[in-house]
Amino acid sequence: MKIALSNIQQNDALSQETPAFVADLSIDGTPRGKVRNEGRGGCCFWTDRSAEREIDAYAATLPPVEFDGFKVPESAETLVFSMLP
């Protein structure tokens, strides 16, 4: 699965715990709406929730990632955050 973000608009001034951003999402070259995060430590918002579920299912096949000294399962959110500049 090829997941891509484009037209990323990030606002570091709004980020409190997580990156504050909005971006266009595509999967395997097909546009799938937008994904955004308000930067307050909460979950991402997806305009196409089925895209989030597809990415989550794909992420479940990947090894865990290290975050703050802990191993956590890969997820749609960890994959999206890893693509931000």
Cα–Cα distance between 80 and 46 in angstroms, integer? 11
Q: By three-state DSSP, how is residue 3 classified?
A: strand
Domain that holds residue 53: 3-82
Amino acid at 45: F
Q: What is the pLDDT of residue 13?
A: 76
Tell me how many domains the chain contains. 1
pLDDT digit string, tens, across residues 29-85: 999 999 999 998 889 999 999 999 999 999 999 999 987 889 999 999 999 999 999
pLDDT digit string, tens, across residues 29-39: 999 999 999 99
β-bridge partners, 67: 70
| DSSP at 74 | -
**What pTM was computed for the model?**
0.88
Q: What is the pLDDT of residue 47?
A: 97
Q: What is the pLDDT of residue 15?
A: 77
- State the pLDDT confidence band at 10, using cuts at 50, 70 and 90: very high
Q: Which of 59, 29, 34 is nearest to 44 (CA)?
A: 34
